[in-house]
Structure 1
């Protein structure tokens, strides 16, 4: 609900066939005179654009007063301005709300040498006119004037391009914006000292000025959260603390440096370790790290493939593990030269290091093999602990090793599924393994969350990062009691965390809730009660209305409860009919409850859509049996759940127009969108981003297609199960598609090659169906960069506006039919 709309808001509805109408001055703010004693106006200087853009950023906030060169200025209603001329600069500011994509001409009469800023971004004026296009939402306009002959003759007009082009003047912006979701500062790195007295926090944010380049700040803070040391706008990273708590190492601008925690003096260790990363203290004077080397460039006429891995651009690069003596600078390679290695853990008391390496072995799914070995540093001998088809991580404990891997680890040691099902090895489990690898104990068979990563404490307890239904949580594994305890971070999705390693371990975690932006939480594990150290809501989302959320679960025809949630638009009027969007993934992971992400559910709801997110059968986090149904199904159970869930959703939400429901998904979700289009006409418009149309071509051509298919199509191949590869592939049923479909793909996608969208586009074009194909140049499997991300979000909303709201203007402005 827009609480701040003025009771006497000025609504302007104009068509191209009528004259412009003046905006009500009492809803426009005026500021002046500004810097009236300046020698030169900005237009009389060489830096006019820079001066005005910098000042406009200050004026764009909601503060009632502005201080300029020691003078305090107050915004006042424009209708109270009676001056003929005013010295210095003057500013007009007003905020508008549009409930659809709006076009028209904005005219500033009686103004010379003026600069216009919309949402903080500069826009050109042509004879004091601006041809304006505003997407759905709220927008702030600031006009900086440098020369006005008579303020009594100044007014602002708007003429809409069509009858539906309307503006509504409001007091301030309250609707969630794309810029907030992408640009707002977030914590991107955390590191807590072993004694818990200091922490490293890196924050990143974006701006129009910075474009695709994040603006980063890294700070060393104490227990009171006070800054002790700062690396502003520098790429300091890779922080690690010495065991004696005296030193802190990090890399910056190609240098490896060490910071004294007491004196805060930084000194150089080396600037000659190009390609080195992952530094940790082996002891107080020795570092362990990985050293990466790129293979020589192939300048020949051909490329000789020697294995499936050669499709990867980095396949022939090498990675080895080293020790570095800090005092002398001498590095010692400790991993054998025959393979690339990653270090898993080290044990100073055993004087040994755990290494893993991947072997070319296509004999069984997932068509690769991991070896885990231990290196004795005293004599450099290597001991093979085991060879595993599923393996994620290994850590030492006093009596052996912890290993995380899928349920099929060690011939199915972790299986907890019915006979006849095949395990989904993306469903991470925890094991205890003897030093020689011969004794394996499954620790998490009755623990439904999927274990992602583990952090070991000195007492052999673990902090586990897990997927629990549609959340990302932290659990403490108590080794002495073999017990899992959820840590109460008060976050739905923990983005990152760090834990101390003292007698009373403390943990800090950054993350979000489904309807709350990122916070930094602190808790002592023994008390398991969190407090907030930092909350981005007050800083970046103040006075912003966040869409309401409702949980919506249903029971499918197999008697299994399927989770979901529904986001509701602002000012919801249940007597009206609303369009809706249904989103899903359908692969091995649930759609988490993060506040924002690549698919901004809160933002879609803020743009007038009821958004239903469904978690169909096959995802991890709901138990092994639930995830196992993903194997060899390729959308079979998933499609049923989405269709059944959508019907249940429509029955439960009668204010949703059942004729105006769109659906979308990406990657496996894009595959699901295409597959659903061959099975149902219940959706009125569909979007598939980076979707798979032909399981065979994805299996054979995607960089990791054969590896993923090793789980998703376990033991099934085109020659022994052709029905799976053809009949479950959407392109083989393209003649059944009747729903308008937008295909989106990055033209540099290596995971799901763009040909997967081209397959379906070709088929539907030949079938004379309503289909669009949009490629993002240079984009891989995800849309990452700021400019592309905003354009991509606009593309999806514009498409659904055209198909579900009968508003094609936005789409036509982005993609002309000419």
Structure 2
């Protein structure tokens, strides 16, 4: 093994040379349950930039909604129950509306009774804070760009029929904000405002289909127009972007068919009774495919020029026999699969009907319940079963051109994936039918690519067997006439009108192959940032710099001014302009900047019309969520680091200068011991690669003292060096904040893989990282443990067969036998693991029959006799990613060898733990285990002696009681 070389970068280290007079207490798991924090997915900024809202509250319990004035300290707080949802503001920001859910205690109480719970809607005036509450609300929306209306859709009455054919309409209340007057529309099943908010389209679905139809309401005059009435059902209103046309679906019963027959309806030139209406169901088209009909799934839409309607078609199954049309009900028999079969009847000499005995005999035949797996199946039977609903609901994209009443089927059984280009001039079709079987076997994807002219419906194949593994597909320009793609390590553009192709990157002295992607794919591409808004330039990144390249490839400018020497890169563009199409280079554009060498990040500004991204700030924090108010020059962004939780900042400066903190996250953190900082370690792996690892220091760290350490692994983790760890009960059990608070250091190394040696690569990277961390003096070499989940669980299970550097290990849902795992089913998708092994995370190729040494060399199970490290295993019995048998096989092997091992299984859980009681339990047990192994605390009884099944209920009740008492 190579001699370890290491160096340290000290960051965020407010170390103390002495022990604080009064040390803060460590977090306990009971503290996690009541930990108060902001739900990051609930931030909303008012259109005028004057109000920012968010939901906050404990991990378990009831939450609050905060609406805060951005320019001062005025804020309002409202209880919102146990479920968080965002605030919606009216266009003029004078009103805010949000849902209030049932309280946590009510949610828990009704789990036994199954009594329904209902949401309220709270409408708040700003800044007056006048509140109006609406009960039993299903959905709501403000009237888009019109600030005067709030539509409130109510849930059905509890007594309403639950039958699938029952009427779906309920009350829709139109509440005028300026006058506080209400207008009720009854039996509404669906509604939608147009962009300007001056027209409301809605569907009536009433009992007996009385008055069913599609209506519009002029929101200025209140005039209601019935655009169509019929004994039919309607659904899927879809306004175009400009708000001057919409499309929807209509369905009718038809005795010839098993399911409803659908019609596409397009409404444009909206002018009340004079509005234009187009209907199409395929009957008028000579070339409409036989046994097909308009699909019930999907949302029809207009072309940009309103010359065509686009929609899906699908198979339309006719009824088996005309006798099905007879009045009265037929006897029903149940087959072996539990499905019902209608039994035919026939009339006797008196004219009465009686069951047809032959039909009854046929229905009574016991049928086998079986699956036939054939080697020629393009998709495994398990995949077909998992994807059955998707397949059943699949529809083929089609078009109907109004002027000449021409129907065009754009997608078909082989060309299933058709992507519309902007402006609806062209579409791109992908046909992988010839390569689907092999892709599902070895993960190496290919497709044939077609350009479809939407004016003529003509399809032209432009690529045959185009390699797609590790690639994005075509990136289409805003004008719909260009596309970019990656091929053979370079980026190209194609003019969809002429089909001429241009190599965009051939004259740039840089690599456009992702240098950090070590999967078994050919020349994986670097990121494609899309197109400029005027479609003149493609924005494509190499491994560090972002390039502006003309559509024909003749000119190229580095917008980031050759940052490779600094190891600095552009990682993403912030989308801050409403309804933007591409990157508008005539406006200021903002980018996330990241430094690979020191893990600093920041924000860069590309000023309007300029060609140089200027970093506004780059430091040891994480930045994200940059937004601009739609109607004002107010910017908000999120900032955090390892020690400080995410907070929102606001500024009116385009340079983001003088930003002011608006939020107050995790207020209880000041009361607890927290990580003392983080170190970045540079080291060299056993394979000679220069790598990095992150070492998070324990709370109350004292220089010169060594600490018990958890090594947490997955793949490359150091880019997350400055990420804040929110105290929580995670699905994998490990929470860094909890361990740091309780006196543990946490080490997270990067792992670089060699093909056909995933396990050995982990050993070559992780062991030197641990030794480098020990050499700092911070890590106690006699008290180092390792943990990982899923792929990290596999590597944990493997590492303990190759090294004794760890005193304890915990592996969650690990792969343990690469040979058996290779051909097992990934049940969450129904596919086999073979493609995952050969082209994705497994990094083992080809199959074990031609690669036996690599498969055995990297399988924990084949080195099991060398294990000396105690192991805590987690493997759930419904794991749909890593088969449960992998954990069982490793556990039983270790048990047979009398190795210290305990396996925990949560019944019914999948790959990660979902149910809160189970998440709590595993998190507590894992820490109990590590405390015993690394801190010499007493061994928990479930580890020391096990729990007999007869005592399990009592054991669980005792732990649940103790935890409840802690609360």
TM-score when normalising by structure 1: 0.61
Counterpart position of 1:301: 369
Cα deviation for residue 694 of structure 1 reads 1.8
Paired residues for 1:56-71 under 5 Å = none
Cα deviation for residue 771 of structure 1 reads 0.9
Any unmatched runs of 5+ in structure 2?
A: 1-14, 64-80, 102-118, 120-136, 156-167, 169-188, 206-212, 215-232, 249-296, 300-311, 318-336, 340-367, 401-406, 493-502, 506-510, 546-567, 949-967
Aligned with 1:231 (options 88, 99, 110): 99
Paired residues for 1:629-778 under 5 Å = 629=753, 631-654=755-778, 656-703=779-826, 705-709=833-837, 710-712=839-841, 713=843, 715-778=845-908
Q: Distance in 1 between matches of 2:396 and 2:152?
A: 18
Q: Distance in 2 between matches of 1:238 and 1:315?
A: 32
Cα deviation for residue 747 of structure 1 reads 2.2
Cα deviation for residue 560 of structure 1 reads 4.2
What SS does the corresponding residue of 2:645 show, helix, strand or coil? strand
- Contact persistence 1:248–1:261 (CA under 8 A): no
Q: Distance in 2 between matches of 1:587 and 1:780?
A: 25
Deviation track 1:167-219 (CA, whole Å, cap 9, x = no partner) reads xxxxxxxxxx42356x63312256779x77699967475654579x9611321
Deviation track 1:437-468 (CA, whole Å, cap 9, x = no partner) reads xx999642544869689966444568778987
Paired residues for 1:344-383 under 5 Å = 346-348=421-423, 350-351=424-425, 359=433, 361-363=436-438, 365-369=442-446, 378=455
Cα deviation for residue 339 of structure 1 reads 6.7
1:282–1:184: structure 2 CA closer, same or farther, 3 Å change rule? Answer: same
Paired residues for 1:236-635 under 5 Å = 257-258=191-192, 282-285=241-244, 291=298, 301-305=369-373, 306-308=377-379, 310-312=381-383, 314-316=386-388, 317-318=390-391, 319-320=394-395, 336=411, 338=413, 346-348=421-423, 350-351=424-425, 359=433, 361-363=436-438, 365-369=442-446, 378=455, 387=466, 388-392=468-472, 394-398=475-479, 400-402=482-484, 414-415=512-513, 428-430=526-528, 443-447=541-545, 457-460=581-584, 509=637, 512-521=640-649, 527=655, 531=659, 534-537=662-665, 539=667, 541=669, 543-557=671-685, 560-574=689-703, 577-586=706-715, 593-596=722-725, 598=730, 599-617=734-752, 629=753, 631-635=755-759
Cα deviation for residue 322 of structure 1 reads 7.7
1:672–1:351: structure 2 CA closer, same or farther, 3 Å change rule? Answer: same
What SS does the corresponding residue of 1:537 show, helix, strand or coil? coil
Aligned with 1:188 (options 23, 37, 41): 41
- Contact persistence 1:197–1:223 (CA under 8 A): no
- Contact persistence 2:528–2:541 (CA under 8 A): yes
- Contact persistence 1:466–1:473 (CA under 8 A): yes
1:275–1:560: structure 2 CA closer, same or farther, 3 Å change rule? Answer: farther
Aligned with 1:801 (options 928, 931, 936): 931
Q: Distance in 2 between matches of 1:542 and 1:488?
A: 27
1:463–1:178: structure 2 CA closer, same or farther, 3 Å change rule? Answer: same
Q: Distance in 2 between matches of 1:422 and 1:560?
A: 19
Counterpart position of 2:291: none
What SS does the corresponding residue of 1:724 show, helix, strand or coil? helix
Cα deviation for residue 397 of structure 1 reads 3.8
Deviation track 1:69-101 (CA, whole Å, cap 9, x = no partner) reads xxxxxxxxxxxxxxxxxxxxxxxxxxxx987xx
Cα deviation for residue 670 of structure 1 reads 0.8
Deviation track 1:315-335 (CA, whole Å, cap 9, x = no partner) reads 23145588999xxxxxx9986
Q: Distance in 2 between matches of 1:366 and 1:337?
A: 24
State the aligned residue count: 631
- Contact persistence 1:405–1:428 (CA under 8 A): no
Deviation track 1:291-324 (CA, whole Å, cap 9, x = no partner) reads 3999999977123453345434542314558899
What SS does the corresponding residue of 1:798 show, helix, strand or coil? helix
Cα deviation for residue 676 of structure 1 reads 0.8
- Contact persistence 1:696–1:726 (CA under 8 A): yes
What SS does the corresponding residue of 2:892 show, helix, strand or coil? helix
Q: Distance in 2 between matches of 1:323 and 1:466?
A: 42
Any unmatched runs of 5+ in structure 1?
A: 10-96, 100-135, 140-176, 326-331, 618-628
1:589–1:563: structure 2 CA closer, same or farther, 3 Å change rule? Answer: closer
Cα deviation for residue 375 of structure 1 reads 5.9
1:210–1:784: structure 2 CA closer, same or farther, 3 Å change rule? Answer: farther
What SS does the corresponding residue of 1:569 show, helix, strand or coil? coil
What SS does the corresponding residue of 1:218 show, helix, strand or coil? coil
Cα deviation for residue 633 of structure 1 reads 3.1
What SS does the corresponding residue of 2:932 show, helix, strand or coil? helix
Aligned with 1:179 (options 33, 37, 42): 33
Q: Distance in 2 between matches of 1:525 and 1:404?
A: 38
1:426–1:452: structure 2 CA closer, same or farther, 3 Å change rule? Answer: farther
Cα deviation for residue 776 of structure 1 reads 2.0
Cα deviation for residue 566 of structure 1 reads 2.3
TM-score when normalising by structure 2: 0.53
Cα deviation for residue 763 of structure 1 reads 1.5
Counterpart position of 1:137: 28
Cα deviation for residue 680 of structure 1 reads 0.6
- Contact persistence 1:249–1:259 (CA under 8 A): no
- Contact persistence 1:345–1:396 (CA under 8 A): no
Cα deviation for residue 669 of structure 1 reads 0.9
Which of structures 1 and 2 has the bigger CA Rg? 2
Q: Distance in 2 between matches of 1:406 and 1:198?
A: 50
Q: Distance in 2 between matches of 1:445 and 1:486?
A: 18
1:206–1:714: structure 2 CA closer, same or farther, 3 Å change rule? Answer: same
1:813–1:416: structure 2 CA closer, same or farther, 3 Å change rule? Answer: closer
- Contact persistence 1:671–1:692 (CA under 8 A): yes
1:304–1:474: structure 2 CA closer, same or farther, 3 Å change rule? Answer: farther
- Contact persistence 1:565–1:613 (CA under 8 A): yes
1:735–1:430: structure 2 CA closer, same or farther, 3 Å change rule? Answer: same
- Contact persistence 1:428–1:452 (CA under 8 A): no
Cα deviation for residue 592 of structure 1 reads 6.1
Paired residues for 1:68-147 under 5 Å = 137=28
1:804–1:726: structure 2 CA closer, same or farther, 3 Å change rule? Answer: same
Question: Which of the pair is proportionally richer in strand?
Answer: 1
Aligned with 1:780 (options 910, 914, 939): 910
1:578–1:489: structure 2 CA closer, same or farther, 3 Å change rule? Answer: closer
639-648 or 704-713, larger mean C-alpha shift:
704-713
Cα deviation for residue 682 of structure 1 reads 0.7
Q: Distance in 2 between matches of 1:756 and 1:662?
A: 22
Q: Distance in 2 between matches of 1:607 and 1:216?
A: 30
Cα deviation for residue 645 of structure 1 reads 0.9
570-579 or 786-795, larger mean C-alpha shift:
570-579
Cα deviation for residue 728 of structure 1 reads 1.0
